[in-house]
Structure 1
Amino acid sequence: MSTSTTIKDVLNELAALEDPKMREANERRGDDHGVNLSHLRALAKRLRTRHELALQLWATGNTAARLLSTLVCKPKACSAAELDAMIRDIRSPKLLDWFVVNVVKPGRHAEELRLRWKDGDDLVGRAGWSLTTDRIVKNAGGLDLSALLDQIETEMKQAPDYKQWAMNHCLAEIGIHHPEYRKRAIGIGKRLAVLIDYPASPGCTPPYASLWITEMVRRRKEAPAR
C-alpha cells in the first residue's frame, strides 16, 4: 500500500470490512468491532510500519482502527506516559491484549508499566498481570514468586473478571514452570476454585489452575526429548 495512503483511506477500508454478524458475536465477548482479524492483519501487512498513521488511527477511538494501530506502530517510539494514557482509554479486552502483545512488550517500558499496572482495576490490572506472566515464563529472575502467590491467594477470588483471568493464568504458569512452587500453586487453585466450571472444548486444557498445571506438567514429562 502506498505511503501516501491517508487515514481517511484506511478508515474507509475498515468500514468496508465491517460484518454485522461478526460484530454481534464480538459484542457478546465485550469487543465492539465487526472486522475479521485475519483481514485486519492483511491490511496491516500492506500498510507496513506507519507510526504517524498508527497515532491517527488510535485517536479515532474506533476499536477496529485501534487494533490496526497496534500492528503498524513503532513500539519503541512510545513513551511510558503515552502508553499509560492509552491503556486507560481501552474498553475492549481484545484491544487490551493486542496492545500489550504488539506495543508494550516490544517497547522499552514493559517492566516499569508491569509494576504500575499490576494493582490496577480490571483491564489495566489484566495488562499488569499479563506482563507478569510473561516474565514468569521467560525471565523470572528478580521476581518474588512467593509474594506473587500471596497476592493471588488474597485477591484473585474477588478480582474483576478480566483481571481474574490474567491472575489465574499467572498462577498456572508459576506452577508449570517453577517446580518448587508447584504444590502451593495447585493448592491455591483448589482452594479458590476460580474457573472450576469453565467449559473447555474436547482436547483442550481447562483454565481451572489446578487441572491446568497438572495436565501441562504431565505433557512436558511425556514429551520426547529433543
Structure 2
Amino acid sequence: MAETTLEEVLAELARLEDPKARAVNERHGDDHGVNLGKLRALAKRLKTQQDLAERLWETSDSAARLLALLVCRPKAFGREELDAMLREAGAPKVHDWLVNYVVKKNRHAEELRLAWTADPDPVVASAGWALTTERVAKKPEGLDLAGLLDVIEAEMKGAPERQQWAMNHCLARIGIDHPAHRARAIAIGEHLEVLKDYPTPPGCTSPFAPVWINEMVRRQHGGASGA
C-alpha cells in the first residue's frame, strides 16, 4: 500500500467502522468507530508516509487523525505546527497519541512542555504535564522536583479533570521514581485525596497517588516490572 491515495485510505477506514467499537470509544469521549488493533494493522501496511499523514490530519476525522499519527514522521513537524495540532486535536485519544507518539519524539518537546504547562487551557496544560511526567521518569536532570510538588500541592485539587489526571500522574511518578521525594509525594496525595474514591476494577492499581506509588514500589522491590 506504499502508493495508497487518501481516498483509498478513507474508504478503508469507512469499511473498518464498527458500531460496537464506536459505542465503547464514545464512552471515553472519542468520536470514531474503528478498532484500534485494526487501525494499527492498517498503519503497519502503509508504513511511514508523511505527506499522507498530513492529508489525513487535515480531514479532521478522528480515526483518520489517529492513523496519521501512526504513519507520520514525528521529527518532521515544527513547533507552531505541533501547537496548532494539539489545540485542534479534539478527541482524547487523538490528544494522547499526538503527545506520546509525536511530540515526545520531536526536538521541540521541551520548549512545548514549558509553554503548554503554563497554558490557561486545561487540555493544553494536561499535555504539558504529560511531557513533564515523561521527563520525571526518563530524564529528570535539571527538573526542580520539589518545585513541581509545590505546584501540584497548590493547584491539583482545584484543577479541571484532564489537567488534574495529568498532574496526579506526575505526582505518582515523582513518588515512584525518586525515593528522596517519595514521602512528600505520598503525603500530598493523602492530604488532597484526589481520586481517592475512584472506582478501580479488580486486578488494577488505583490511580490514588499514595496507593499507586506504594504498589509500584512494592513491585519494583519484588522484582516485578513497574507501571
- With normalisation by structure 1, the TM-score equals 0.96
Structure 2 equivalent of residue 125 of structure 1 = 125
How many residue pairs end up in the alignment? 223
**In structure 1, C-alpha distance between the alignment counterparts of 2:221 and 2:45, rounded to whole Å:** 42
Structure 1 equivalent of residue 34 of structure 2 = 35
Structure 1: gaps (5+ residues): none
Structure 2: gaps (5+ residues): none
Structure 2 equivalent of residue 83 of structure 1 = 82
Establish whether residue 166 from structure 1 lines up as the match of residue 161 from structure 2: no
1:96-138 per-residue CA deviation (whole Å, 9 max, x = no partner) reads 1111111111111111111111123232111111110010000
Instruction: Report the AA paired with residue 123 of structure 2.
Output: L
Runs of 4+ deviating beyond 6 Å:
none
Structure 2 equivalent of residue 197 of structure 1 = 197
**In structure 2, C-alpha distance between the alignment counterparts of 1:210 and 1:37, rounded to whole Å:** 32
How far is 1:221 from its partner? 1.5
Identity %: 61
Establish whether residue 213 from structure 1 lines up as the match of residue 203 from structure 2: no
Which residues in structure 2 correspond to 1:19-34 (within 5 Å)? 19-34=18-33
Structure 1 equivalent of residue 179 of structure 2 = 179
Structure 2 equivalent of residue 115 of structure 1 = 114
Instruction: Please state whether the residue corresponding to 1:188 is helix, strand or coil.
Output: helix
Establish whether residue 147 from structure 1 lines up as the match of residue 147 from structure 2: yes
1:143-177 per-residue CA deviation (whole Å, 9 max, x = no partner) reads 00011111111111111111111110000000011
How far is 1:188 from its partner? 0.5
Check the 8 A contact 1:93/1:123 in 2, yes or no: no
**In structure 2, C-alpha distance between the alignment counterparts of 1:169 and 1:43, rounded to whole Å:** 31
- With normalisation by structure 2, the TM-score equals 0.95
- 172-181 vs 121-130, greater mean Cα deviation: 121-130
**In structure 1, C-alpha distance between the alignment counterparts of 2:203 and 2:162, rounded to whole Å:** 24
**In structure 2, C-alpha distance between the alignment counterparts of 1:52 and 1:159, rounded to whole Å:** 38
Instruction: Report the AA paired with residue 188 of structure 1.
Output: I
1:178-219 per-residue CA deviation (whole Å, 9 max, x = no partner) reads 111111100110111111111222222110001111111112
